[in-house]
Amino acid sequence: MKNITDLLQWRYATKRMTGKKIPSEKINKILEAAHLAPSGIGLQPYEIIVISNPELKKKILPIAMNQPQIVESSHLLVFAAWDEYTKERIDHVFDHLILKQDKKTDSYAKQRSFAKTFFGNMSIEENFHHAAKQANIALGLAIVAAASEGIDSTPMEGFDPIALDEFLKLSSKGLRSSMLLALGYRDQKNDWNLTLEKVRKPFEEFVTFL
């Protein structure tokens, strides 16, 4: 697999996994790819909770519609988006940026002000949906990074976010779960989806050139 197209042809929505553990160095590469994902105004309004504890995954199983990948995965990633773009959060991001780049304290003043005004004009629910869309960019890069390491993945939206947020106590961190990503190794004997042809809508229906 030499390029991204090969990787995307190889990967598929893995329905059954073996439970085999993924080496920590591979997990770290996947997480680093997500960490480097672009986001609106560079705010990175989300966090990733990495769950490898089997007992925790068993408790999440009924919250996620009893999908077997939850417990058969090596690691389960929970993408958790900010529940709100607060002024304090925005200041924290820009203060960190200025510190790391050794800039003057008034650097990025326009961007900082724009971010506070832009998100301040949104409802809290609009804030969350915007943050969740940013998290999905990182999710996509994590999927590709996993494939580059020979790791199978399954993005999952089939879960009760309110129950998961309560179980993981995400509200105490100002977060709400948006997506799950199961990482592991395909069970070649029991995964019915493995042998099916990968099908997408015709390219000419998918892309419009103007």
Which pLDDT value is given to residue 157?
97
Three-state SS across 8-63? HHHCCECCCECCCCCCHHHHHHHHHHHHCCCCHHHCCCEEEEEECCHHHHHHHHHH
Which pLDDT value is given to residue 126?
98
Which pLDDT value is given to residue 166?
98
pLDDT in tens, the chain (210 residues): 569 999 999 999 999 999 999 999 999 999 999 999 999 999 999 999 999 999 999 999 999 999 999 999 999 999 999 999 999 999 999 999 999 999 998 989 999 999 999 999 999 999 999 999 999 999 999 999 999 999 999 999 999 999 999 999 999 999 999 999 999 999 999 999 999 999 999 999 999 999
Please give the C-alpha separations between residue 197 and each of 10, 25, 49, 185, 192, in angstroms, as whole numbers.
Answer: 11, 31, 32, 19, 11
What span, in angstroms and rounded, lies between the C-alpha atoms of 45 and 42?
9
- In 3D, which of 77, 30, 78, 72 has the Cα closest to residue 54? 72
Which pLDDT value is given to residue 111?
96
What span, in angstroms and rounded, lies between the C-alpha atoms of 147 and 10?
8
The C-alpha angle 137, 119, 30, rounded to 5 degrees, equals 20
Type of residue at 195: T
Which pLDDT value is given to residue 105?
87
Which pLDDT value is given to residue 207?
97
Which pLDDT value is given to residue 42?
96
